[in-house]
Structure formats: structure tokens, C-alpha cells
Amino acid sequence: MTATATMVTGAPRPSKPNTRMRLRVRNALIGWSFILPNFLGFALLTLVPVIALFYISFTNWNVFGVAHWTGLENFRRLLGDATFKTAFVNTLYYAVMHIPLTLVVSLGIALLLNTKLRGVAFFRTAAFFPYITSIVAIAMVWNLMFSPDYGPINQILRFIGIADPPGWLTSPQWAMPAVVIISTWRDMGYYMILFLAGLQTVPRELYEAARMDGANAWQRFVNVTIPCLRPTTFFVTVMLTINSFKIFDLILVMTKGGPGISTMVLSQFIWRKGFEENQFGYASAASVVLFLLCIVVTILQFLWNKRGSRA
Amino acid sequence: MKRKIVIAASVAAVAALSLTACSGGSEPSGDATGPVTITVSGWSLDTTPEFQLLADGFHKSNPNITVKLKEYDPSNYNTLVTADLAAGTGPDVITQKEVKYVTTFQEGGQLLDLSDVKLPDGISGTDSYKVDGKLYAVPYRQDAWVLFYNKDLFDKAGVPTPDGSWTWDDYAAAAKELKTKLAAAGSKAYGAYQHTWQSTVQGFANNQSPDGGVLGGKYDYMKPYYERVLDLQKSGAQVTFNTATANQLTYQGEFGKQHAAMMMMGTWYVATLISQQASGDADQFTWGMAPAPQYDASTAGTDKTPVTFGDPTAFGVNANTDGAKQAAAKKFVEYAASEDAAKALAGIGITPALLNDNVVETYFATKGAPQDDLSKFAFSTHTVKPENPTSSKTAAIQNILNDMHSAIMSGSESIDKAISEAQDRVKNEVG
């Protein structure tokens, strides 16, 4: 049997700049063709409307007919709008409570479920389940659970001796904490998955080395796990922050912004002004404010992360 | 290598081409002599038979005009119709589900001036659709709020049933008496059930108080109404607002399953209760309607005309139709307001805008409808004032008043504080 000598050709070595350019263009085109379907969807359904939003926020459009330019009038009006200020403060209040709580809970569950025991898949699924449950079903069930007179939560509180349990969703002081609890319960599964993926990337040798140096579990956690999880934690925090500022469906279905306007958040303010009162220009201006809030905080987080990773 | 570029380019081309296919564009209207099809917007078509009923009835008398119903989700009806109209694919006949949105459509130039449509005498609700003296929609339905009461529970408690001359104080006293006596008789039913909507208190306050009015910006006149309701809650005569919200109680369930002896509700509930009693979803019991409790004795009594509130439902014509379609749409609107349509609607338990004797008779001839004189009086004799005045400020003000309602009813704010806050907000946000 004759062995056929095949000529092994290595990677083409561009000898002239022309060939290098063609290669770059070809690679770029291939790359673009892969992302084009998704990008087209994004461009049409998200990018173009957002750009239109910036334009509409300077007009007083009411859906029908031409938008009339009104300059900074909408923003001036926002500054004097007490309901907008309440919605803004409520959004921050919700975010400040929700973000650390969800971070801690999801990381905790991820650590607990980061084992290879049999049946751990069941628990991971169970933790993730609330995230995919219908929001309307969640609202119904939690409304009943938080019912001040008949709900199980207050019954348990009374049983352990708290004579005057909070009014939860019917009380302006406790409505937002109640929403935060439900929201954390819903989101923890999703962020748990992200943390689990991050935990898999922590090299085992580091743990063994730490154990040999005499570090206990807490010291291993602080000195090995947390630093190695930094990229994951950063990603989770950024997503969590942006989603917290944009919270809408849970509050709308559970409290509709009530009692009064104690749980009204920016998204609901925008929706009400736009879809219920047809003031799309004004609602767009409020949307621009929400956008700026998200982007400023995200930029700050990126800067913080860069500074931290340099250290 | 070359193939990959070709594939990529063709993918991009296909994507670009498919976008251009999504172009709007109106179809030319049918020619004047041939058959015409018009679209009418509706909601919950399988539980709201009135649209199909009107479509079929109109087609019978106008065989060359077919009516196609366009179904929309009821809780987002106005947003969805607005989107369609803005895109140029809106219905030819635009059903005005809520008076709050009429000015939005009218100011946006979407509604045709219908001042030349012939309307029967005595039709109510047209004022809600008049802007600057021109009529922009024709009402076919006018609901009114009345007092529904459970005769069996009244008898069980030994409390005399309403006689049509109640004021709000009479109502409150009866509710408390019912609760006490029903408990003594071994029943867990409440004296009354008050649904969580703002209209259950504010609709009456706005339209019965001498100085009442949503657009006025001053809401002190609501205080006595709220005081009465909070007192009823405190005395245990009715379920609290917080419990009703937390347990997501339905008014159909509370009255239909005899959890309460009385309930204020709109006349649309008659058809629901009749059908639920027939299907077994509601208990079998004797019930009736009484006029809504009045502000004072001056309008209370079967020899007077009680005052209540309610909003009409109407059909408007899309201003962007023309030629044969527009003429057909106007004919449909005229038919919907006519006595024939009113009798057909009354036959399925809808309260038509035209309430003459023939129509009332047809309404009460339905199997399961109450037969007593007081029910007939409550249904047919009243002054119905609009729940939502026709103005571009109404939607925003009603939202503020709804926040006030939940703040007061949940007990989170005192009545005075909530009212003064609402007044400030209306001044600042609506002007």
C-alpha cells in the first residue's frame, strides 16, 4: 500500500497587506452574519424605539398625530411632580433592600447546593422554580399568604408571640418590604444558577492549599471563594441592580402601587402616564430619567470593579 | 470561502426583505353597490354576547353588509385599539369601552362626527359623547348602579326588605342590623359586600352630593361617604377592604354565594347573576333590585326619581373610513341605538341606552329575572349621572382619586389627610 504523502498546508501566511485586509473583512462578515439575526431583532424592537424615546421625551405626543417639540418642558414638569419624586424614592428604596438581600440569599443557596450529592439536582430545580412561575399565580398565592387577618404568615407570627403583626401589603410601611421578600424569593433561583457556574470555576487546588495552611471554612470562603467569584459577583450585581431599578410586573400585580402610592415605582409611573393617561411625551421623559439612573449606576459599578481588580 | 460570504449576504437579504413585507396600508373600501364588510371592535366575545347579537341583528335587516367582530383583550382594550388605530389597521366601528378615553380618540382625530345620525327619543347617555356640541359616538348601552339584595337572607334575619325610600343612613343601619340578626340566626353572612373599586364610594359621592364633581378639584364632599363606609367596616357589617383585596374576592362570588345580603353593583350584574344561577355557579335564592340609597329624603321614594350613576357604552365610527364603509358603519351605529336592538339586548340581560316600556318589559321577561315592582322601578326609573365626565383630565384625576381611595380604605391614611393630598396632587399634576 503506497502511502500518499499529503502536503500539509499550514495557515495561509499573508505576504501582502491586501491578503490580510481580505482576511479581516472575511472574518468580520462571518462574524456579522452570525449576530445579524439577533441584532436585527434588537435593532428593530429595542434600539430604534429607544432612540425614538429620546426624541419623544422632548415633545408632547399623545400617540395620534404629529409630535410637537416642547424642549425641556417635560423634564421641568418632572422636577416639580411630587408623585414622580415618590416613585423615584420608592424605586431606590426597593433596590437598596432587594439587591443585598438577593445577593446574600442566592450565594448562600449556591454554596449549599454546590455539592455532588444525589438529589442535589432536585433542590436546584426547586430553587429555580419560582423564577419561571407565572407572575399572576405568584401574586394570588402571596396575597393570601400575606393576608393580615387570615394569612399563614401572620398566624405564625402571632403563634410565636408577636401580638400585633404587620399589615404587609395593606400597610404603607410594610408593603414594600413584603414586595422585596417576594421578589427575592422569585429571583434567588436565577442568580443561584449564575453563582453555581462561577463556583465551578474555583480551582480545587486553592481550597486544598488553604486547608493545608490551616484555614477553617469561613476563612476559606473569604479568602478563596469570594475573590475567585469576583467576575460572577460583578455580573450578578450589575444585572440585579438594573433589574431592580426596572421592577414593574411584580408590583403592578401585587399592589398596583398601593396602598395609596406607597409602592409606586418609576416603571409604573411611566406606564400610568403613558398608557392610562396617554401622555407619551411626559412618560418618555420619565423613561429617560430611569435610563440615566441605570446607566450611571452601572458605570459606577464598572469603575469600582476595575479599581478593585487592579488592587 | 466565497460560499460563506454568499450565504451571509443572502441571510441578510432575506431578513431585510421580510421586514419590508411588514408594511401597513389600507385596503380600498368596497364599491358602493356591492357587499360591504365592516369591522367592529369588541372584547371577551365568548362571555359578552352583545356584540354578536348586534352584528347578527344588523345583518338580518341589511343583508349586503357583513359585520366582522375584532376581539381585544378587555383589560388592555384601549391601549390595543389605540395601537391599531395609530398603525392604520383600526376597526371601522370603534366601541367606546370607557368614557375616560373618548377625548383621547376624539382629540386624536379618530372619531367621525355623528351629529347627523338619527337617534330615537329618550335615549340616554349621549351627553357623555358630546364634545363642543358635536356627537362623536352613539350609546347602545347604559348601565346604572342599583342595590342588589338577597330576599331569603333578609327573611332569615327578620329585617324588612328595602322599600325604595332608603337614604345612606337607612342602608348603613340595615347592614348592621342584618349582620347582628343573621349571626343570631346562625348564618355567617355579612350585611353587605362592598367591592374594592373606587366607584363603589366615589361614584355615589360625586353624583349625589350637591357640590360633587370629579373635575372640581375639591373633594371634601366625599368625607361623609367614606366615614359611613369605614364605620360599616369597623362594626363588622361588611368585609374590610384589606381582606377583600388580600383574598381577591369577586363581587359575583360574594353575592352569588350568599356571603352578603346586600351589594351595590351595576345593572350589568343582572345578566351574570341570572346565568350563574342557571348554571349552578351561584346559589338558588330570591333576589331583587332596589334603587340606590340616596343622599337625602328629597330624591328617595318610589314617587320620586332616585339619583344614581353609571357610564354608557357606545359605538364610534373610525374617521379614516370613507365611501361605502363609512355609510355602512353609520348605519350599524344607528341600528345599535334603535328600539329593535334595545329589545334584543334587553332579551339577554343587557341594559340598553333606550329604556322605554317595551324594552323594560322584554328585559324582565327573561327567565330568572326578578318580577317584583320595586326591581322594575329601580331598573327603569332613575336619573343616571355619568361616572366619568367627558374631559381629557378625567383619566389622570381618576387615577389620583383611586390612590386616595386605597389609602383611606386600607386604613393607611386618615380621610382628611388623604383628601387634602389628593386635592394637592390634582392641582399640581393635572392643573
pLDDT tens string A172-183: 999 999 999 999
Contacts of A83 (CB under 8 A, 6+ apart): A261, A264, A269, B425, B429
Average pLDDT value for residue range A91-96: 96
Instruction: For chain A, state the CA radius of gyration.
Output: 26
With 50 as the cut, is the pLDDT of residue B27 above it? Answer: no
pLDDT in tens, A95-133: 999 999 999 999 999 999 988 888 888 999 999 999 999
Which residues in chain B touch residue A32, judged by CB atoms under 8 angstroms apart?
A: 8
Distance from the Cα of A144 to chain B's closest Cα (Å) equals 6
Residue B403, pLDDT score: 94
For residue B40, which amino acid is it? V
B279 CB within 8 Å of a chain A CB: no
Decide if A277 and B395 are in contact by the 8 Å CB cutoff. yes
- Identify the three-state secondary structure at position B186: coil
Q: In terms of Cα–Cα distance, which of B73, B69, B78, B66 is closest to B49?
A: B69
The rounded distance, in Å, linking the Cα atoms of B390 and B35 is: 36
Burial of B143 (0-12, 13-18, 19+ CB in 10 A): buried
Q: What is the CATH number of domain B145-308+387-430?
A: 3.40.190.10
Q: Which of A83, A147, A275 sits opposite B247 (nearest CB)?
A: A147
Instruction: For chain B, state the CA radius of gyration.
Output: 25
Q: Which of B242, B246, B406 sits opposite A144 (nearest CB)?
A: B246
Which residues in chain A touch residue B8, judged by CB atoms under 8 angstroms apart?
A: 29-30, 32-33, 36
With 80 as the cut, is the pLDDT of residue A310 above it? Answer: no
Decide if B242 and A167 are in contact by the 8 Å CB cutoff. yes
Residue B236, pLDDT score: 94
With 90 as the cut, is the pLDDT of residue B48 above it? Answer: no
Residue B23, pLDDT score: 44
Backbone angles phi, psi at B289, to 5 degrees: -115, 145
CATH of A76-310, one of 2.60.40.10, 1.10.3720.10, 1.10.10.60, 3.40.50.2300: 1.10.3720.10
B294 forms beta bridges with: B167
C-alpha distances in Å from residue B318, one per residue of B324, B330, B368, B414: 13, 10, 38, 46
Interface pTM, i.e. ipTM:
0.80
B85 CB within 8 Å of a chain A CB: yes
Decide if B406 and A36 are in contact by the 8 Å CB cutoff. no
Q: Which of B1, B108, B407 sits opposite A260 (nearest CB)?
A: B407
% of chain B beyond a pLDDT of 90: 72
Domain boundaries, chain A: 76-310
Average pLDDT value for residue range B14-24: 46
Please tell me which residue of chain A has the smallest CA distance to B1: A26
Domain boundaries, chain B: 36-143+311-355, 145-308+387-430
With 90 as the cut, is the pLDDT of residue A300 above it? Answer: yes
Q: Which of B242, B403, B429 sits opposite A81 (nearest CB)?
A: B429
Residue A16, pLDDT score: 66
The rounded distance, in Å, linking the Cα atoms of A231 and B150 is: 66
Question: Biggest alpha carbon distance in chain A?
Answer: 94
CATH of B36-143+311-355, one of 3.40.190.10, 3.20.80.10, 2.115.10.20, 3.40.50.300: 3.40.190.10
With 90 as the cut, is the pLDDT of residue A29 above it? Answer: yes
Which residues in chain B touch residue A256, judged by CB atoms under 8 angstroms apart?
A: 406
Backbone angles phi, psi at B126, to 5 degrees: -70, -30
* Confidence category of residue B366, pLDDT binned at 50, 70, 90: confident
B403 CB within 8 Å of a chain A CB: yes
Which residues in chain A touch residue B13, judged by CB atoms under 8 angstroms apart?
A: none
Burial of A33 (0-12, 13-18, 19+ CB in 10 A): middle
pTM: 0.84
Best residue in A36, A40, A63 for a mutation probing chain B (most B CBs within 10 Å): A63
Domains B36-143+311-355 and B145-308+387-430 equal at CATH topology level: yes
* Confidence category of residue B424, pLDDT binned at 50, 70, 90: very high
Which residues in chain B touch residue A261, judged by CB atoms under 8 angstroms apart?
A: 403
What cell numbers appear for B428 in the block? 399640581
Residue A6, pLDDT score: 56
Helix axes A280-310, A48-56, angle to 10 degrees: 120
Asked if residues A61 and A283 have their Cβ atoms less than 8 Å apart, the reply is no
* Confidence category of residue B368, pLDDT binned at 50, 70, 90: confident
pLDDT in tens, A61-70: 888 878 889 9
Q: In terms of Cα–Cα distance, which of A220, A135, A228, A230 is closest to A185?
A: A135
Which residues in chain A touch residue B5, judged by CB atoms under 8 angstroms apart?
A: 26, 29
Strands B65-72 and B36-43: parallel
pLDDT in tens, B322-333: 889 999 999 999
- Between A10-24, A135-149, B49-63, the lowest mean confidence (pLDDT) is in A10-24
What cell numbers appear for B420 in the block? 387634602
Residue A14, pLDDT score: 55
The rounded distance, in Å, linking the Cα atoms of B364 and B349 is: 8
pLDDT in tens, B384-400: 999 999 998 999 999 99
Contacts of B204 (CB under 8 A, 6+ apart): B145, B168, B225, B264, B292, B293, B308, B309
B150 forms beta bridges with: B287
Q: What is the mean pLDDT of chain B?
A: 89
Decide if B8 and A30 are in contact by the 8 Å CB cutoff. yes
